[in-house]
Amino acid sequence: MAAGYARSTGKVGVFMVTSGPGATNSVTPIRDCMADSVPVVLITGQVPRAALGSDAFQEAPVFNLMSTCAKHAFLVTDPEELEATMRTAFEIARSGRPGPVVVDIPKDVQNWTGPYAGSGLLTLRGYDRRIREIQKLTHCARSRARVFRSSEDQRTAFDLRRRWRDQFGSRRRAATICHGVWNSSGEYADGTRCDGQHGSIVSAHARHAWSGLCELRREDCDFLIAVASRFDDRVAGNPKQFAPSTRAIAHIDIDVAELGKVKSAHWGHVGDAKAALSDLLNAANGFTKDYSAWRAHLQRLRVKHAYNYERTSEFIQPQQVMEVLNGIVKGDAIFTTGVGQHQMWRHSIWRFGIRGRG
């Protein structure tokens, strides 16, 4: 529920659990939030400080467990640092690449009474330095020129933002990862929507447009711009075979560890996506190209590889249920899914409004 709140509002979600099994049961959602960059703060109970390491009743090595799967984990051993620790946890969860932060609080620290300062953060030199460096990062003129030289040499530009589509005429050539679908606010009705393993089911023309499979290899995109995509196995499959005809790849991500981790890029930039794209737009200087041939090609793919289901069946089809619901709420609703085929149907059928993040 905390993760759902964070996903749908963009604010930090909070949940609290007891020590021992309550904490260990939270490993899965914390790992999920880390993978999906969801900002949450988990507060876990812990045995008193004097009992740490004694295998006391419901003691669990929360800090050790969570440090491997959370963005950051704290074990509060100084009661006077509790307030600053909590404030810092929220700051870490929402800053840079968002993610889950865990605060493990021993019972005697919970029971401590002291003055409330009302301000102040812990000093985390390494983290603070990285955040400052990311905030200062901008494209140098030479770096920007490399991107636009690639664009001039190739037939198509890929991105996820409205202004980019307007500037580069790429409205019909944008594909999204699963978590980016809601960001389109329904504007990708003419686009290729989801890509990857489930994109091949959801939208075959998205797969062909990106990867140039079979007879479409010659028509593969030449210049691929990936914004906040980690090229995971559900998108890229075998990285060496992903987008085989692409001659230039640009990768923008706020996490430096993502650049080159799975798929090598010819040009990479670490920084906030909004700032990075705005910086490139300002350097476009009236860049224009004719993409009519590519648009016509994608339209043929939509017809040849259109997503469909058995509409003549006497049984109610789940896709039909989603289509009816979609027509009723018209994007003005928040829907949640589990993990399974119904999630993929949601991506293939649902049209997202401004609030309908799904």
pLDDT digits (tens, 9 = 90+) for 5-29: 998 888 999 999 999 999 999 999 9
Average pLDDT on 53-61 reads 94
Q: Which residue has the tokens 């004097």?
A: 50
For residue 255, what pLDDT is reported? 87
Rounded Cα–Cα distance for residues 298 and 185 (Å)? 21
pLDDT digits (tens, 9 = 90+) for 62-88: 999 999 999 999 999 999 999 999 999
- Better pLDDT: 158 or 265: 265
Residues of the chain with CATH 3.40.50.970: 2-134
Cite the beta strand spans of the chain per DSSP E.
13-17, 40-46, 72-75, 100-106, 175-176, 193-194, 223-227, 248-253, 267-270
For residue 235, what pLDDT is reported? 73
pLDDT digits (tens, 9 = 90+) for 237-267: 788 777 777 888 888 888 888 888 888 888 8
Q: Which of 6-15, 220-229, 283-292 has the highest mean pLDDT?
A: 6-15
- 48 in Cβ contact with 84 (< 8 Å): no
Q: State whether residue 21 is helix, strand or coil.
A: helix
Superfamily of domain 2-134: Thiamin diphosphate (ThDP)-binding fold, Pyr/PP domains (3.40.50.970)
CATH of 137-306, one of 3.90.25.10, 3.30.70.120, 3.30.56.10, 3.40.50.1220: 3.40.50.1220
pLDDT digits (tens, 9 = 90+) for 316-355: 988 888 888 888 887 777 777 777 777 777 777 776 654 4
Closest CA to 74 of 21, 127, 119: 127
Q: 97-109 burial string, b = 16+ CB within 10 Å, else e?
A: bbbbbbbbbbeeb
For residue 41, what pLDDT is reported? 98
pTM above 0.85, yes or no: no
250 phi/psi in degrees, rounded to 5: -115, 135
- Better pLDDT: 161 or 315: 315
Residues of the chain with CATH 3.40.50.1220: 137-306
